[in-house]
Amino acid sequence: MNMVTEVSPKFSSVIRALDSPLRVELVKILLEKPRSAPDIYQTLITTGFDIGDRDTVYKALQMLVDAGILEKYYEMAVKRICYRVATKRILIDIPTLDLTAST
Amino acid sequence: MNMVTEVSPKFSSVIRALDSPLRVELVKILLEKPRSAPDIYQTLITTGFDIGDRDTVYKALQMLVDAGILEKYYEMAVKRICYRVATKRILIDIPTLDLTAST
């Protein structure tokens, strides 16, 4: 039997990144405004979101960066690495199981 | 702090449904042509896909139906319930964390 198509690595990494309440919460927090990692961590605690440790949050941020949903940049004003949302729309084409992200 | 938006149940169910090699494989198999559940199960075995039991496959199919990615219908020609792909495009809007599926 012929497989129709392979799933692109992008498809897997984006879907996996969005399949987590913590990671979706991080996107929500960054939709408000870009923030540094310590600011994000503090915001999660303030909103009462049930997280493990700092490392869990940093790994979750990195997974979203790797998937292209977030990006890291150096914010001159606060002299810190900050995170912001890098993708506005994600289109999944089912017949090809392909995924396109746009800004 | 104001949360930007709640994630829709549709968002969660579609993303969850696609975050699984078995479920993506089921979509691939059904992109070729609609099939009955026993036919799908047999096809998986033939392609050497590592599955558990029949029940695992049927639950995976149902999760894809619940997410609106597949649909069940009665196929007159073979007098069986069959599955087919019901969605062509899925659009995820990041600013609203909303998801739209179209046929």
Given the DSSP bridges, would you call strands B89-93 and B70-75 parallel, antiparallel or unpaired?
A: unpaired
Contact between residue A102 and residue A55 where contact means Cβ atoms under 8 Å apart: no
- Between CA B56 and CA B85 the distance in angstroms is 19
Q: What is the DSSP letter of B27?
A: H
Query: What is the CATH code of the structural domain delimited by A9-102?
Result: 1.10.10.10
Q: State the pLDDT at residue A47.
A: 85
Provide the residue count of chain B: 103
Domain spans in chain B, listed from the N-terminal domain onward: 9-102
Taking residues A29-34, what's their average pLDDT?
95
Is-contact A63 A44, C-beta < 8 A? no
Contact A77, A34 (CB under 8 A): no
User: DSSP state, A6?
Assistant: P
For residue B18, the chain A residue with the least C-alpha distance is A15
- ipTM reported for the complex, 2 dp: 0.85
Residue A92: list chain B partners with CB under 8 A.
18, 89-92
Share of chain B above pLDDT 90, in %: 73
pLDDT tens-place string over residues A58-84: 999 999 999 999 999 999 988 999 999
Predicted confidence at residue B6, as pLDDT, reads 65
Whether A97 and B69 lie within 8 Å, measured CB to CB: no
- Cβ separation A93–B88 shorter than 8 A: yes
For residue B1, the model assigns a pLDDT of: 40
The low-confidence residues of chain B, meaning pLDDT below 70, are 1-6
Q: Which distant-in-sequence residues (6+ apart) come within 8 Å of A46 by Cβ?
A: B1
The residue-averaged pLDDT of A30-41 equals: 94
Q: A92 and B3 in contact by Cβ < 8 A? A: no
Residues of B whose CB is below 8 A from A16 = 19
